[in-house]
Amino acid sequence: MSRGSGKGLSLKDKLDGNELDLSLCDLNEVPVRELAALPKATILDLSCNNLISLPSDFCSLMHLVKLDLSKNRLQQLPLDFGRLVNLQHLDLLNNRLVTLPVSFAQLKNLKWLDLKDNPLDPVLAKVAGDCLDEKQCKQAAVKVLQHMKAIQSEQDRQRQRKLQAEREMEKKREAEQRAKEAQERELRKREKAEEKERRRREYDAQKAAKQEMEKKTKKETVHTRKPASSSRPPQPPRHKPSWSRSVLRVLLFVLFCILCALAACKLTELQHQPLCVSVNTLYEDVVAALQNHKTLQNMLQHNSRQ
């Protein structure tokens, strides 16, 4: 293995039982592929190198139980660092770490942790405390795990709230979309009804105009036929009831009454009564006048003939 590249020297030469010591090798990167080929190497020492970051596939080394990354220049750990679920001992002394990935909370088997000499976030630094002896390092592992689990839980709750808010927003959008579609359907329905009503009015108007035209044509036809009908012989006027008939009836009734009175005065014992005497006298005068009138009429007719 050449210094800096991590290639050229077999890792098996560095393997002692289940411990692989790669410290003080001036490494700039971790030979993950070669390490994955040595599942027996459960203890890995990468201290005192020039590591700035760890590759994401480093987290595939799930066989690691003890890992020493102290005295490097690590600025952050991979986001899925929590995949190293078998890790029990972790030394991160003297690096440049500020925070830990949330997945750190998944290291449920972690028993020992050293985060001294890192520019940690004040809250994380207070939680981790000092690691000056075995007891403090064990307490640091427990407290940091609890702290990271709380962060993870809070992030999960935030994600749930965000997801819930997104679902509610989606439901709201769906409800608005349904309301919009319903409104559009109602608008189309109303427009369809208005169009139908408009066509019905047009139909009624056309029908009325047609009927009016037929009536006008029929009337013109009747007017045209009137002169021909005038050549027909005039029909005798119908007798209609009028006031003259009523007057005639009254005169007949009066004449009847007079005749009855004359008969009574001539033929009954009432003829000697003053009223009957006057009636009889009037009757004789009228008869005489009629006879004179008849005689005068005959004379006139005789003279006219001569």
- Domain spans in the chain, listed from the N-terminal domain onward: 12-155, 268-298
Residue 55, C-beta contacts closer than 8 angstroms, at least 6 positions apart: 29, 30, 32, 78
φ/ψ of residue 23, rounded to 5: -75, 155
Q: Please tell me the chain's helix, strand, coil percentages from 3-state DSSP, rounded to the nearest 5.
A: 60, 5, 35
What pLDDT is recorded for position 6?
A: 46
Mean pLDDT of the chain: 85
Helices 274-305/243-267 angle, 10° precision: 110
Digit-coded pLDDT (tens) for 207-234: 888 888 888 888 788 777 655 444 555 5
- Mean pLDDT computed over 251-269: 77
Distances (CA, A) of 215 to 38, 206, 208, 221: 111, 14, 10, 10
pLDDT band at 4 (very low <50, low <70, confident <90, very high): very low
- Rounded Cα gap, residues 97 and 117, in angstroms: 9
Q: Which of 3.30.420.40, 3.80.10.10, 3.90.1150.10, 3.40.50.720 is the CATH number of 12-155?
A: 3.80.10.10
Look up the pTM and report it: 0.56
Sheet strand arrangement including 19-21: 15-16, 19-21, 43-45, 66-68, 89-91, 112-114
Residue-wise DSSP of 215-258? HHHHHHHHHHHHHHHHTSPPPPPPP---HHHHHHHHHHHHHHHH
Digit-coded pLDDT (tens) for 92-133: 999 999 999 999 999 999 999 999 999 999 999 999 998 899
In the chain, pLDDT over 90 holds for what percent of residues? 52
Looking from the CA of 217 toward its CB, the CA atoms found within 13 Å total 6
What pLDDT is recorded for position 211?
A: 87
Give yes or no for a contact between 70 and 93, defined as CB atoms under 8 angstroms apart: yes
> Maximum CA pair distance of the chain?
192
**pLDDT surpasses 80 at 289:** no
Digit-coded pLDDT (tens) for 14-47: 899 999 999 999 999 999 999 999 999 999 999 9
- Mean pLDDT computed over 191-206: 90
- Rounded Cα gap, residues 128 and 254, in angstroms: 149
Angle in degrees, CA 4, 120, 118, rounded to 5: 40
What pLDDT is recorded for position 154?
A: 92
